[in-house]
């Protein structure tokens, strides 16, 4: 039983969670790794040095780094060792006096991106989302493309535009072509959208030519974080045929500041929805590696709750996404990121994008102040929160991912 600190049993950042982040403080402006406990951050470098672990313990040396990249390189055994040590600090009351000097109140830190992204892929794993989008974009055709239930569809994103929660988002510009126009025009996106997603941080590098099976995917899945894949729907609609998303997506994606270890989400594992037709063997394995996650999400626009997307209804498993991503021999690097794609459920209030919520503008969303939105306006703030069930009735918080829209930057 956890001895300290004294937190409510349902605190989303209790000792069953212990997510990783990185932070700055006024007196030490270089980034440091931390673990959140309650409303404080444990300075991992300070705790490692105080425990005398900086003289040869490999995973402990990785915690002295400003990002998680070195720890991610070391692989699953090192991750387990680091988590066991951190968990032990709060399980033993004899550690309290030694650890307390390295706890910092959240209001004294600035959270930064806790990893240097290596590569980034975004998937399209919700059947409800894919069906809604297909119905909107292709009303005279089948909503799902013929390949959708045979493989996890994804696109390669731009890792340099992954930004930490709280970063302002500048409205993108590009080519747009209304359906009734003869030629495209250029200008700021008029249909700026969100995609409420879950991101996964990957470690345990592999060689080009190798692949990761669904049964071994857990050895490479370090943790999960909230994710918002901002999307310019008008730019996307004009550019995406025949090669898929490009400038309509690559301007920014926001990442939650806290990376929740996959071990902390063990109690949230759930069965996948029935997959019919049965996927090919490399997406099945022996079945032990396949899982869904019971994660509840909430989307707020300027303070109004507009949706509660349920991750448990996602069609494809994170293990299947990772296996498909590498089946052609593509290598994994430490701090690769892949995201789930928009999380949407079978009801309107479970849809994780404004494209779906407003049905492409036909059914505007009414906010608490009486204003209406189909897509985002300058000054709008979107905040996505999430949590999962933990062991013994506890709650595992994922924090939030938030961003405010700024006007487009003039060209020239």
What's the pLDDT at 57? 87
- Rounded to the nearest 10°, the torsion over CA 262, 129, 215, 291 is 60
Query: What does the pLDDT read at residue 9?
Result: 87
At residue 6, the 3 state secondary structure works out as coil
320 labeled part of a ligand binding site: no
Annotated ligand binding at 344? The verdict is: no
- 168 lies in the same domain as 276: yes
For residue 213, what are its two tokens? Answer: 């099976």
Q: Is residue 412 part of a domain?
A: no
| Closest of 264, 253, 281, 268 to residue 339, by C-alpha | 253
Q: Point out the residues that are catalytic.
A: 129
Does residue 361 lie in a domain region? yes
Q: What is the 3-state secondary structure (H, E, C) of 56-116?
A: CCHHHHHCCCCCCHHHHHHCHHHHHHHHHHHHHHHHCHHHHHHHHHHEEEHHHCEEECCCC
**Number of C-beta neighbours around residue 202 at 10 A:** 28
Query: What 3-state class would DSSP assign to 299?
Result: strand
Is 240 marked as a binding-site residue?
Answer: yes
The answer to whether residues 48 and 193 belong to one domain is no
Mean pLDDT of 208-236: 98
Please state the rounded mean pLDDT for residues 331-339. 98
pLDDT at position 412 = 66
Tell me the per-residue pLDDT of 176-196, one tens digit each, with 9 for 90 and over.
998 889 999 999 999 999 999
Query: 387 and 366, same structural domain?
Result: yes
What pLDDT, on the 0 to 100 scale, is given for residue 399? 98
Over range 210-237, report the average pLDDT. Answer: 98
Percent of the chain at pLDDT > 70 equals 99
Say yes or no: 146 and 31 in one domain: no
CATH number at residue 95: 2.30.30.230
* Residue 249 is labelled as binding a ligand: yes
Mean pLDDT of 153-161: 96
Over residues 101-116, mean pLDDT:
98
65 annotated to bind ligand: no
Does 179 belong to an annotated binding site? no
Is 219 marked as a binding-site residue? no
Q: Is 141 annotated as a binding residue?
A: no
Mean pLDDT of the chain: 96
197 a known binding residue? yes
pTM value is 0.97
- Identify the pLDDT of residue 2: 46
How does pLDDT run across 23-60, given as a tens digit for each residue? Answer: 999 998 899 999 999 999 999 999 999 999 977 789 99
On whether 253 is known to bind a ligand per the annotation, the reply is yes
When pLDDT is averaged across residues 194-206 and rounded to a whole number, the result is 98
96 in the same domain as 150 = no
Residues 6+ apart with CB under 8 A from 75: 203, 204, 219
- Cα 76 from Cα 63, distance rounded (Å): 15
What DSSP assignment string belongs to 119-147? -EEEE---HHHHHHHHHHH-TTS-SS-TT
Q: pLDDT > 90: what percent of the chain?
A: 92
pLDDT of residue 80: 98
Q: Do 176 and 89 share a structural domain?
A: no
Q: Is 120 annotated as a binding residue?
A: no
Q: Rounded to whole angstroms, how far apart are CA atoms 320 and 212?
A: 10
Q: What is the DSSP letter of 195?
A: -
Look at residues 80, 112, 144 and tell me which one is the last residue of a structural domain.
112
Categorize the per-residue pLDDT at 3 as very low, low, confident or very high, splitting at 50, 70 and 90: low
Q: Could you tell me whether strands 20-25 and 28-37 are parallel, antiparallel, or unpaired per DSSP bridges?
A: antiparallel
The answer on 189 and 50 residing in a single domain is no
Instruction: Determine the structural domain holding residue 249 and report its residue range.
Output: 120-406
Can you give the pLDDT at residue 4? 78
In order of 4, 134, 406, the CA distances from 261 in angstroms are 20, 34, 33
What are the angstrom distances between the C-alpha of 407 and each of 365, 380, 384? Answer: 21, 10, 21
* Averaged pLDDT for residues 272-288: 97
The whole-angstrom separation of Cα 348 and Cα 266 is 29
Give yes or no: residues 48 and 134 share one domain: no
**Same domain? 292 vs 314:** yes
Q: Note whether residue 318 is domain-resident.
A: yes
The verdict on residue 150 lying in a domain is yes
Q: Are residues 314 and 287 in the same domain?
A: yes
* Number of domains composing the chain: 2
State whether residue 302 is helix, strand or coil. Answer: coil
């Amino acid at each position: 039983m956890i001895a300290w600190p004294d937190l409510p049993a349902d605190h989303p950042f209790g000792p069953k969670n212990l997510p990783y982040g990185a932070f700055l403080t006024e007196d030490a402006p270089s980034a440091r790794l931390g673990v959140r406990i309650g409303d404080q951050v444990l300075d991992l470098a300070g705790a490692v040095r105080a425990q005398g672990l900086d003289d040869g313990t490999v995973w402990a040396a990785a915690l002295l780094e400003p990002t998680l990249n070195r720890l991610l390189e070391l692989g699953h055994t090192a991750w387990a060792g680091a988590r066991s040590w951190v968990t032990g600090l709060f399980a033993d009351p004899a550690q309290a006096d030694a650890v307390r000097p390295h706890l910092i109140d959240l209001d004294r830190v600035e959270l930064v991106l806790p990893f240097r992204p290596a590569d980034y892929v975004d998937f399209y794993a919700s059947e409800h989302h894919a069906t809604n989008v297909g119905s909107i974009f292709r009303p005279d055709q089948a909503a799902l493309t013929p390949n959708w239930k045979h493989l996890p569809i994804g696109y390669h994103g731009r890792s340099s535009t992954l930004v930490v929660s709280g970063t302002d988002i500048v409205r993108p510009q590009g080519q747009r072509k209304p359906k009734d126009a003869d030629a495209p025009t250029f200008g700021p996106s008029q249909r700026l959208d969100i995609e409420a997603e879950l991101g996964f941080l990957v470690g345990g590098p592999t060689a080009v030519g190798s692949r990761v099976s669904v049964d071994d995917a857990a050895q490479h899945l370090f943790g999960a974080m909230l994710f918002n894949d901002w999307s310019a729907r008008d730019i996307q609609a004009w550019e995406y045929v025949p090669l898929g998303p490009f400038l309509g997506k690559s301007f920014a994606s926001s990442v939650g500041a806290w990376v929740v270890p996959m071990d902390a989400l063990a109690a949230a594992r759930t069965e996948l929805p029935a997959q019919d037709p049965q996927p090919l063997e490399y997406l099945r394995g022996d079945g032990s590696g396949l899982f869904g996650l019971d994660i509840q999400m909430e989307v707020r626009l300027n303070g109004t709750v507009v949706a509660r997307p349920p991750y448990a209804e996602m069609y494809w498993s994170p293990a299947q996404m990772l296996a498909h991503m590498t089946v052609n021999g593509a290598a994994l690097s430490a701090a690769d990121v892949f995201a789930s794609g928009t999380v949407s459920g079978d009801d309107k209030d479970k849809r994780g994008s404004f494209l779906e919520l407003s049905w492409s503008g036909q059914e505007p969303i009414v906010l608490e102040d009486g204003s209406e939105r189909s897509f985002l306006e300058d000054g709008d703030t979107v905040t996505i929160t999430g949590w999962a069930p933990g062991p013994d009735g506890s709650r595992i918080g994922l924090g939030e991912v938030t961003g405010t829209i700024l006007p487009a930057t003039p060209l020239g």
